[in-house]
């Protein structure tokens, strides 16, 4: 029998519901895994083991509350929790405790989840790394900003964890750490109680070790089916190198090309797909919007606590990098035009297959890596999933990203599951 800490969320929920395992035993197993590995991985910002075990014992004696009854979940430390500190990865907020839970945390509790602890984030969810390392090689970055969540799930400390994405903060660390990362259609998951970086872009994300887990969490947040619907036919896949293709290393190009070959062999229709020219500069457009809105969302920190911000954070908002209102409006306008074209582009394809990251997690812990292959899709508000399964020249994970049409998350999850089951 495999250790309880290695169970997926669906396996854990099913085991607890059937009485084969208890929440207390599962939480205890996860905590033992954390105690044995945390000094190396550094994925957690806050843990209260006794509190988590007490909650698990109460749930074991209680009627089933919901889909996640007794299952432990990790929460990125920019998401408010009423019973745990939320420091947003910043010295400014060390020890801060919200009087309320973020909406997503409240919904997890309502579904019966045990909030295991708060996972490490980069400083205010930007680019200054936290303490977390890549579980596959501690000399390499785990990505960011949802570094702790990705690493904790990858290292089997917790079956599932929440992150966020403004540029590539779910997809990138999931790819680097070798787990599934899911960014839903913009606006479908609640963001109340999450530290806001950009009101146009911020999206709650999920890390897991199975696609079935993503469907289960999605059911908690939006009421969609808790199990995946099987595709009636093999999907039609558009292989899109994207305008950012020059950033791709051989590890990423090989992962995508191998996936295309495997899917064709399995019966999928795969064809090369090129975005219209209007999409060419969307990565830069996303950055313009992020900088303009970020400067305003972080105005309190920048004006009242400038001396407690990192050099890297301050460099992002230097006056010479400031975006004008006219640049911002033009960026919003172009993004809206591209979103309007997107539905028509998906008429020929069920999903698009694109890069997740330039390649493996870079060496060193001074950077969280380049989000270049996520910027455009975050801006377009499409649902995205990174699928693990490949490795690069250093033996580190390399993912591929699948993109669905806006609002078609259930179809994307089903197609992603179809692909994952047929990859070798």
Percent of the chain with pLDDT over 90: 99
Mean pLDDT of 61-72: 98
Strands of 44-47's sheet in order across = 44-47, 114-119, 72-76, 160-165, 203-208, 180-183, 384-391, 397-403, 351-355, 236-239, 269-272
Strand partners, 194: 79
Residue 310 has pLDDT above 80, yes or no: yes
- Give the model's pLDDT for residue 148: 98
SS3 76: strand
CA distance 405 to 3: 38
Q: Are 255 and 359 in contact (CB under 8 A)?
A: no
pLDDT per residue over 203-232, tens digit each? 999 999 999 999 999 999 999 999 999 999
* pTM beyond cutoff 0.75: yes
Domain edges within the chain: 6-177+215-222
Q: Are 7 and 159 in contact (CB under 8 A)?
A: yes
pLDDT per residue over 88-132, tens digit each? 999 999 999 999 999 999 999 999 999 999 999 999 999 999 999
Q: Where are the beta strands (DSSP E) in 66-113?
A: 72-76
> Which residues participate in catalysis according to the annotation?
76, 145, 169
pLDDT per residue over 363-399, tens digit each? 999 999 999 999 999 999 999 999 999 999 999 999 9
- Give the model's pLDDT for residue 49: 98
CATH of the domain spanning 6-177+215-222: 3.90.1300.10
- Give the model's pLDDT for residue 137: 98
pLDDT per residue over 166-191, tens digit each? 999 999 999 999 999 999 999 999 99
pLDDT per residue over 260-291, tens digit each? 999 999 999 999 999 999 999 999 999 999 99
Residue 424 has pLDDT above 90, yes or no: no
Per-chain mean pLDDT for the chain: 97
The DSSP code for 364 is B
- Give the model's pLDDT for residue 423: 83
pLDDT per residue over 33-47, tens digit each? 999 999 999 999 999
Cα atoms in the Cβ-side hemisphere of radius 13 Å centred on 296: 12
The DSSP code for 406 is T
């Amino acid at each position: 029998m495999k250790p309880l800490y290695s169970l997926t969320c669906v396996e854990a929920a099913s085991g607890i519901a059937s009485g084969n395992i208890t929440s207390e035993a599962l939480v205890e197993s996860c905590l033992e895994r954390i105690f044995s590995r945390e000094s190396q991985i550094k994925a957690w910002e806050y843990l209260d083991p006794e509190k988590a075990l007490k909650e698990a014992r109460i749930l074991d004696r209680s009627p089933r509350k919901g889909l996640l009854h007794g299952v432990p979940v990790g929460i990125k430390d920019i998401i408010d929790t009423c019973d745990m500190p939320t420091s947003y990865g910043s010295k400014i907020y060390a020890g801060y405790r919200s009087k309320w839970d973020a909406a997503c945390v409240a919904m997890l509790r309502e579904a019966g989840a045990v909030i295991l602890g708060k996972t490490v984030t980069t400083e205010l969810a930007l680019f200054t790394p936290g303490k977390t390392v890549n579980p596959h090689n501690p000399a390499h970055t785990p990505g960011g900003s949802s570094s702790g969540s990705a690493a904790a799930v990858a290292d089997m400390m917790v079956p599932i964890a929440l992150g966020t994405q403004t540029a590539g903060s779910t997809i990138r660390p999931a790819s680097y750490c070798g787990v599934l990362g899911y960014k839903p259609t913009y606006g479908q998951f609640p963001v109340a109680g999450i530290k806001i970086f950009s009101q146009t872009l911020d999206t709650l994300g999920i890390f897991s070790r199975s696609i079935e887990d993503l469907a289960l969490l999605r059911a908690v947040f939006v009421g969609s089916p808790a199990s995946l619907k099987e595709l009636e036919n093999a999907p039609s896949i558009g292989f899109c190198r994207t305008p950012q293709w020059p950033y791709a290393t051989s590890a990423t190009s090989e992962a995508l090309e191998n996936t295309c070959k495997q899917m064709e062999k399995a019966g999928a229709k795969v064809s090369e797909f090129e975005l219209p020219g209007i999409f060419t500069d969307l990565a830069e457009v996303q950055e313009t919007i992020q900088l303009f809105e970020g400067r305003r969302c972080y105005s309190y920190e920048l004006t009242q606590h400038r001396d407690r911000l990192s050099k890297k954070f301050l460099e992002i908002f230097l006056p010479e990098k400031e975006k004008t209102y006219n640049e911002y409006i033009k960026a919003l306008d172009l993004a809206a035009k591209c979103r309007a074209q997107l539905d028509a582009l998906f008429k020929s394809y069920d999903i698009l297959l694109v890069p997740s990251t330039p390649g493996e997690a870079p060496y060193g812990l001074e950077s969280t890596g380049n989000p270049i292959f996520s910027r455009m899709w975050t801006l377009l508000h499409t649902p995205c999933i990174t699928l693990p399964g490949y490795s690069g020249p250093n033996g580190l994970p390399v993912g591929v990203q699948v993109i669905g049409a806006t609002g078609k998350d259930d179809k994307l999850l089903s197609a992603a599951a179809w692909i994952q089951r047929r990859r070798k």
